[in-house]
Amino acid sequence: MKRQRRAVLLTALAATLALSGCGGTANRFVKPGASASPTPALHVNPADNATDIPVSAEVGLQDAGDKLTAVQLADAGGKSISGKLRDDASSWVPDEPLDYATTYTAKVTATSTSGKSVTGTSRFTTMQRPTSRMDAHLYMSDNAVYGQAMPIVVEFKQGGVAPADRAAVERRLFVTSDPPQPGVWHWDSNTQVEYRPKDFWQPSTKIHGRFALGGLPVGGGRYGQQDITIDASIDTVRRQIEVDNATKQLTAKQDGAVVKTMAVSLGSPQHPSFYGTMPIMEKYDKTTFDSSTYGTPVNSPEGYRTDVQYAERLTWDGQFIHAAPWSVAQQGHTNVSHGCVNVSTDNGQWIYDWVKVGDPVIVKGTEVPLGQGNGWTAWNLPWDQYVKGSALADVGQSTGATPAPSATDAADAQPNPSAS
């Protein structure tokens, strides 16, 4: 009887185990300390134990499905590094370039594809200071006030930026404005990139830019020299100059109303003026135009060296508005200049006192169009064509990131005037 009873008990126990295996209590048989749904691994960029990382490094994720939510970055001494997420949460951007030859630890939080909050850590070391660097110059001054058509213009030195490297550079050119006016970068060449909103800046706009090039790989084994930051403003009023070759008249408008008209003489048939929209690039109360600065000897039939007053640059190759007392008799009637807009001395002084750098000058009706990149030509293309000059597939990326810049080192270049 005892042997039969034991067999019955074993049969009952087996039945119980079989039933429990189909029910919700199966987890009671999981090995202690194990997880029924293990937390997915978070793969961080830069990868753990990575070395020779550029000091422009952004912290992000290797897995496209995970969404970055927070980053804490510290150096080996525990010093916290400030930074911000890009608007699209694709990465976290330090506010300044990291230090060279330094080890950092990133603690990263993300949301996995399953919706769970996950964390990961990466310890990486930055590269030694490179020997091959690229400088950049910004054609804006800190705390200055500009006209409504002022583009943000960055000029690259040491060979500039090749087309294959432009997207990576453009993603590090951050601009914000108040009130917000989304804009786009346009590459005129390897050496010049310009930023503008769709329409002229609104009056009183505040512009903040961080051009985070410090330590950034820019192609050809070169790295950006430094970050550049800028805070500037757009004037409270709108000024605009219109020059019509058909009437040989210049019309000055403020907030849409005509405030002054004057006679002009434009480029002769041998040296026609360009037509297009040209922001004033710089202004001089006195300067010297010298043809030898662009390869024409002063003593040649087409050469000159002339002292002029009240000059505003419109193009790189030397088209200006300026006082030309020698052509007053022709102003309003005949074109006799080397391409510039000639006005009388009194009118030249009025323009010089009235305009700001960044005010638009619109020349129409001449024989030759303004070439893209010959000056600040951001407004010389319709918007749908202009945006095609961005290196980013989604041009929204060029304005989507707004990490607050904190390094300062802006430089203004001063090209030589060279035409009359």
Q: Is residue 240 within 8 Å of residue 251, measured between CB atoms?
A: no
CATH number of 239-378: 2.40.440.10
Beta partners for residue 242, in sequence order = 251, 362
- Going by C-alpha positions, the residue among 354, 359, 370 that lies closest to residue 319 is 370
Q: How far is CA 85 from the centre of its chain?
A: 18
Q: What is the average per-residue pLDDT within 209-219?
A: 97
For 353-410, the pLDDT digits (tens) are 999 999 999 999 999 999 999 999 999 999 999 999 999 987 644 443 344 433 333 3
Q: Which CATH number fits domain 44-125: 3.40.50.2300, 2.60.40.3780, 3.20.10.10, 2.60.370.10?
A: 2.60.40.3780
User: Strands of 341-343's sheet, edge to edge?
Assistant: 282-290, 305-313, 320-323, 341-343
Which entry of 186, 271, 338, 340 is annotated as an active-site residue?
340
For 16-37, the pLDDT digits (tens) are 433 334 344 334 334 454 444 5
Distance CA 118, CA 67 (A): 10
Domain ranges of the chain: 44-125, 133-236+384-400, 239-378
For 58-67, the pLDDT digits (tens) are 999 998 888 9
Per cent of the chain over pLDDT 70 is 84
Q: Which CATH number fits domain 133-236+384-400: 2.30.110.10, 3.90.230.10, 2.60.40.3710, 3.50.50.60?
A: 2.60.40.3710
Distance CA 36, CA 38 (A): 6
Q: Which helix (H) or strand (E) holds 8?
A: helix 2-20
How confident is the model at residue 38, as a pLDDT? 54
Residue 22 appears among annotated catalytic residues? no
Per cent of the chain over pLDDT 90 is 77
Distance CA 181, CA 149 (A): 13
Q: Do domains 44-125 and 133-236+384-400 have the same CATH topology?
A: yes
Cα radius of gyration rounded to whole Å, the chain? 32
How confident is the model at residue 355, as a pLDDT? 98
Residue 322 appears among annotated catalytic residues? yes
Which entry of 186, 271, 322, 338 is annotated as an active-site residue?
322
Tell me the pTM: 0.83
